[in-house]
Chains A and B, each alone.
Chain A
């Protein structure tokens, strides 16, 4: 990537960040996510960081995909509908540069929207007297802010992967309706469909027991959940069906695959 491409990358990413920052709907969604995280942290009266992670794990699994798809599904689609994608093609900007710039801009905003509330809610742990708790018997693991930080980092990584998926939808869709349908379908697949499919596969004998870990790593949600269980909660590591390595590979595959799809579909090289 040469100097001009890097400058273009930052120009596109900056435009996306500015767009998101000036979009009231995104600010409202981010505030909503923050409020839900705060309420869960407060009502859960978390006595430690790991219990707080357990309180937040499922909501993060559900809400982060929704937030990512809402933030990202129109990023490139909007440019296409306004005719700006055609205009961009008259400039010396390549498909990978444009797609990566859009992704970086939107993903940066998403990571901030996800990580800031998660970090902020951790302040409730000392408030509820959990700061002195070093061992959580129920989870069989030492409690520590470091473990919580791992959860925040994994949540941010999860958001990055989902931002890439949203970017792919945004590039592939040609109309708002198509984009919306794809976004809803992917959201449902992530939260319910993929896991349900794996369970059905297990029940039907299509997925052998020994392949369960690999199969779960195919779903970003399962991979994220497995990574949190194995690297944060720890005490249930032995029963976590997704290995850390498989989970990381699964998330990276979704990230790279999504960006590749976005690059190939954003426009055709003539």
Chain B
């Protein structure tokens, strides 16, 4: 498998990007069931990496292992601050929620107070587009605004890696598009953004896509690579082709993709 800096699309602009997340030989199982085994990949600063795959493919468990929330059975995760000085990782969980009686600004201020340096909370509120709702209580926010609040929390302290677990689930197309714009904006500011998503249109805007299925990364690369490797006309078709059946994954094109990385 290749990492985010190795794709053709990025090669011209990635010379100054540092690897900030390095996953090596990661394995995890629930009892007898292997969720994933021997996964390896790395993520560079200033990039958006989309983690896609069918339900139950292990995306959330993989992200939790990366974050240290679920200890892996085997393997290693190395988070490095790169050239940034903030905390290593920020996290937006699935369906994030916060204390309902607090306002947007109060919520972010609480988390900012846990950091070892001053944070301009108002700037974060503006950055995620909640400036006009900063005094609004959490229980008065829409689902999309709560996701934005969650992203605001995730980027407090300017972490090197921002992990967003399905940030667009149940959101309308406009909000979905906006959230991927925010993710791109964060990457442009030097953060490495890892997004687990079922939204293929959003995933197509990523620099790198990791396709996880049945515990394996069955393909990775830029969205254009996916189409090129499978002969599909679109990224969506490529995704469906790659996740269609076990037999399909043994095709030469996909095998070449899976073998081309760091595993």
**A residues adjacent to B (C-beta < 8 A):** 4, 7-8, 11, 15, 18-19, 22-23, 78, 82-84, 86-93, 268, 270
Contact = CB atoms under 8 A, between A and B. Distances in A.
Contact of B99 (A8, A19, A88, A91): A19
A15 B101 contact: no
Given A18-B102, A91-B111, A93-B114, A83 B96 contact: yes
Contacts of B153: 87
Interface residues of B, number: 29
B145 to A, nearest CB: 16
Contact of B97 (A8, A18, A83): A83
A11 B110 contact: yes
Interface string B181-221: 00000000000000000000000000000000000000000
B204 to A, nearest CB: 27
A89 B68 contact: yes
Nearest to B111: A91
A92 B115 contact: yes
B96 A91 contact: no
Given A11-B113, A15-B99, A91 B93 contact: no
B91 A87 contact: yes
Contacts of A11: 110, 113-114
A174 to B, nearest CB: 14
Contacts of B114: 8, 11, 88, 91-93
B111 A89 contact: no
Contacts of B87: 90-92
A18 B106 CA distance: 10
Interface of B: 64, 67-71, 87, 89-91, 93-99, 101-102, 106, 110-111, 113-116, 153-154, 159
Given A4-B116, A83-B93, A19 B67 contact: no
B98 A82 contact: yes
B257 to A, nearest CB: 31
B110 A270 contact: no
A91 B115 contact: yes
Contacts, number: 66
Nearest to B157: A91
Contacts of B68: 89, 270
15 contacts: A7-B113, A8-B113, A8-B114, A11-B110, A15-B110, A82-B98, A83-B95, A86-B91, A87-B154, A90-B89, A91-B87, A91-B115, A93-B114, A268-B71, A270-B70
Contacts of B89: 90
Nearest to A16: B99
Contact of A90 (B71, B90, B97): B90
Identify the 4 closest CB pairs spanning chains A and B, nearest first.
Answer: A11-B113, A22-B101, A83-B93, A82-B97
A87 B64 CA distance: 11
Contact of A86 (B69, B110, B115, B116): B69
A90 B96 CA distance: 14
Most buried by A among B87, B93, B95, B159: B93
A256 B159 CA distance: 36
B116 to A, nearest CB: 5
Contact of B93 (A8, A18, A87): A87
Contacts of A89: 67-69
A23 B106 CA distance: 16
A106 to B, nearest CB: 13
Nearest to B64: A86
B101 A23 contact: yes
A39 B96 CA distance: 44
Nearest to B70: A270
B123 to A, nearest CB: 19
Contacts of B113: 7-8, 11
Contacts of A18: 101-102, 106
A130 B181 CA distance: 73
Contacts of B111: 87, 91
Contacts of B70: 270
Contacts of B64: 86
A11 B119 CA distance: 14
A268 B98 CA distance: 22
